[in-house]
């Protein structure tokens, strides 16, 4: 299959290459959803099954495709075009990044719209609670990371100390599936060690996704929770399952730009992406935070004058699931490639500890000290762990979209805290 073609002094993805990418995405989705349906004692991977298949694809197919380009080194093509291998091998990674980012935008914008009608009232009532829980999760994760750094430096003396610090902070960002923390760590550690941050991130990212997905399924089963009762607690005793966003009372009088609500959705995503590029010092909301915040505002107000801003519930559900699927495929293929390249059992163990321990501490703190109900607790934990896939799973498990409000409330403080924690760890160690 002709994937690349030569044009005007550069190689470009051909139509066949784009078709191959689309074929791969659809094939992974089909097999992944089938795997996600496999249930063992009431627990299944759900949409995270797509992530697992994407990982396997990345492990066994991504590297062979990418590695064919270095074979051009030493040929007449390399003499005429010195950076040919590096540029061509970058095309596959860039294509995956497009798939991942598109999915992320669709997912978080949908979540923002869905959570918006109830978000600000919930935040006002539980503002301190969400801040405390987000801080507890990130601080406990940072302390686990610090402990792992100390142990690694004592037991792995053949590896340079600064290299271990770079790998461990990469594990920290991967364990919490935090791209902003990953970027901040690479910037803080310096260019000469940034590749080791990437190694750690790639190893821990896999369990960082699957571990939180399983956690939000297993906890309700261990507690033998009645989801109908828990939904009633979450919605203030009304028993509403939260399937649809709050509808405007004057909805029939509002002007719709289009019947599917795609135009206001696209507007929120565009404004969110622009907001995410704004930097204060070295910090920015990123695309995730920007799209989430703008969609929350759109969802809260629901309209501008007589123009309706809230897309229909059916549109939001489709975009949410489609976005989650694309995000998991893009991240999964790249993560699988990095995993097979860099895997060390001890690093995987450290990463797993950085994922599991903060969740357990956060759950105990929320349940026994903050006295949160189960679904608010689990929603907040997915936000505190900055876990987009786990939120998608929790919505399915709980049967209500309302858990997105807890995620959205905890996510911002976790986003800021994990970036700062990564930089502090590098400064100390």
Would you say residue 334 lies in a domain? no
Q: What pLDDT score does 85 carry?
A: 44
Handedness of CA 251, 253, 259, 265 (dihedral sign): negative
Quickly state the pLDDT bin for 143 (edges 50, 70, 90).
Answer: very high
Would you say residue 40 lies in a domain? no
Phi, psi of 12 (to 5 degrees): -130, 155
> Which segment of 9-18, 113-122, 128-137 scores lowest on mean pLDDT?
9-18
* pLDDT over 70 (residue 25): yes
Return d(Cα 313, Cα 113) in angstroms, integer.
9
Q: 10 Å Cβ neighbour count for 208?
A: 29
How does the average pLDDT of the chain come out, rounded?
A: 81
Would you say residue 93 lies in a domain? no
Q: What pLDDT score does 340 carry?
A: 67
Identify whether the C-beta of residue 29 lies closer than 8 Å to the C-beta of residue 50: yes
Would you say residue 56 lies in a domain? no
Would you say residue 5 lies in a domain? no
Read off the pLDDT of residues 60-94 as tens digits, 9 standing for 90 and up.
776 555 554 444 444 444 444 445 444 445 556 67
Residue 218 belongs to domain spanning: 102-243+274-323+343-428
Would you say residue 151 lies in a domain? yes
SS3 243: coil
SS3 307: strand
Burial class (CB in 10 A: 0-12, 13-18, 19+), 368: exposed
Q: What pLDDT score does 216 carry?
A: 94
Helix (H) or strand (E) segment spanning residue 137: helix 84-155
Read off the pLDDT of residues 414-428 as tens digits, 9 standing for 90 and up.
877 887 898 889 889
Q: What pLDDT score does 238 carry?
A: 40
Would you say residue 218 lies in a domain? yes
Quickly state the pLDDT bin for 239 (edges 50, 70, 90).
Answer: very low
Return d(Cα 139, Cα 142) in angstroms, integer.
5
The stretch 3-7 carries a mean pLDDT of 47
Instruction: Identify which of 388, 390, 290, 387 has the alpha carbon closest to the alpha carbon of residue 46.
Output: 390
Q: What pLDDT score does 111 carry?
A: 82
Q: DSSP strand E in 233-285: where?
A: 279-280, 283-284
Calculate the alpha carbon distances from 398 to 59, 102, 327 in Å.
Answer: 33, 26, 22
Q: What pLDDT score does 86 carry?
A: 47
Identify whether the C-beta of residue 219 lies closer than 8 Å to the C-beta of residue 367: no
Question: What tokens appear for 96 in the block?
Answer: 């995956």
Give how many domains the chain has, as a whole number.
Answer: 1
Would you say residue 65 lies in a domain? no
Read off the pLDDT of residues 200-215 as tens digits, 9 standing for 90 and up.
887 888 899 889 999 9
Read off the pLDDT of residues 275-308 as tens digits, 9 standing for 90 and up.
988 888 766 777 877 888 899 899 989 888 889 9
Return d(Cα 242, Cα 157) in angstroms, integer.
54
Give 48 or 257, the one with higher predicted confidence: 257
Number of continuous H segments (helices) and E segments (strands) in the chain: 16, 6
Parallel/antiparallel/unpaired status of strands 279-280 and 283-284:
antiparallel
- What is residue 70's DSSP assignment? G
Instruction: Identify which of 269, 253, 268, 252 has the alpha carbon closest to the alpha carbon of residue 309.
Output: 268
Question: What tokens appear for 36 in the block?
Answer: 């996600």
> Which segment of 103-117, 174-188, 316-330 scores lowest on mean pLDDT?
174-188
> Which segment of 251-255, 288-292, 324-328 scores lowest on mean pLDDT?
251-255
Read off the pLDDT of residues 91-129 as tens digits, 9 standing for 90 and up.
566 777 788 889 889 988 998 898 788 778 777 778 889
pTM (global) more than 0.85 = no
């Amino acid at each position: 299959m002709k994937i690349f073609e030569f044009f005007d002094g550069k190689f470009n993805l051909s139509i066949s290459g784009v078709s191959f990418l689309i074929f791969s995405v659809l094939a992974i989705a089909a097999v992944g959803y089938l795997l996600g349906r496999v249930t063992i004692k009431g627990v299944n991977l759900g949409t995270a099954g797509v992530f697992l298949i994407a990982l396997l694809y990345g492990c066994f197919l991504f590297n062979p495709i990418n590695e064919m380009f270095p074979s051009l080194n030493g040929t007449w093509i390399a003499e005429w075009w010195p950076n040919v291998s590096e540029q061509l091998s970058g095309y596959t990674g860039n294509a995956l990044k497009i798939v991942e980012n598109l999915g992320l935008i669709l997912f978080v914008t949908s979540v923002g719209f869905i959570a918006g009608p109830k978000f600000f009232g919930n935040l006002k009532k539980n503002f301190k609670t969400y801040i405390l829980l987000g801080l507890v999760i990130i601080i406990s994760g940072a302390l686990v990371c610090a402990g792992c750094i100390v142990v690694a430096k004592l037991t792995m003396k053949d590896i340079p100390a600064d290299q271990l610090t770079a790998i461990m902070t990469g594990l920290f960002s991967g364990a919490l599936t935090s791209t902003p923390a990953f970027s901040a760590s690479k910037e803080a550690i310096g260019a000469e060690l940034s590749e080791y941050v990437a190694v750690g991130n790639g190893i821990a990212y896999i369990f960082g996704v699957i571990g939180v997905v399983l956690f939000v399924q297993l906890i309700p089963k261990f507690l033998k929770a009645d989801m109908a009762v828990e939904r009633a607690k979450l919605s203030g005793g009304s028993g509403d399952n939260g399937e649809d966003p709050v509808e405007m009372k004057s909805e029939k009088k509002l002007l719709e730009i289009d019947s599917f609500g795609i135009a206001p959705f696209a507007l929120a995503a565009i404004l969110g992406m622009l907001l995410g590029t704004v930097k204060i010092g070295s910090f920015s909301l990123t695309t995730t935070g920007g799209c989430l915040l703008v969609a929350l505002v759109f969802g809260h107000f629901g309209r501008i004058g007589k123009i309706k801003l809230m897309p229909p519930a059916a549109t939001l559900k489709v975009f949410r699931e489609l976005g989650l699927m694309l995000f998991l495929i893009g991240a999964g293929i790249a993560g699988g490639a990095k995993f097979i390249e860099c895997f060390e059992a001890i690093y995987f163990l450290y990463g797993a500890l950085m994922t599991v321990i903060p969740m357990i501490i956060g759950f105990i703190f929320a349940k026994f000290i903050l006295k949160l109900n189960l679904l608010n607790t689990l929603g907040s934990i997915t936000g505190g762990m900055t876990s987009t896939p786990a939120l998608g799973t929790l919505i399915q498990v709980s049967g209500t979209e309302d858990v997105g409000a807890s995620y959205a409330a905890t996510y911002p403080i976790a986003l800021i805290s994990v970036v700062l924690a990564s930089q502090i760890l590098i400064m100390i160690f």
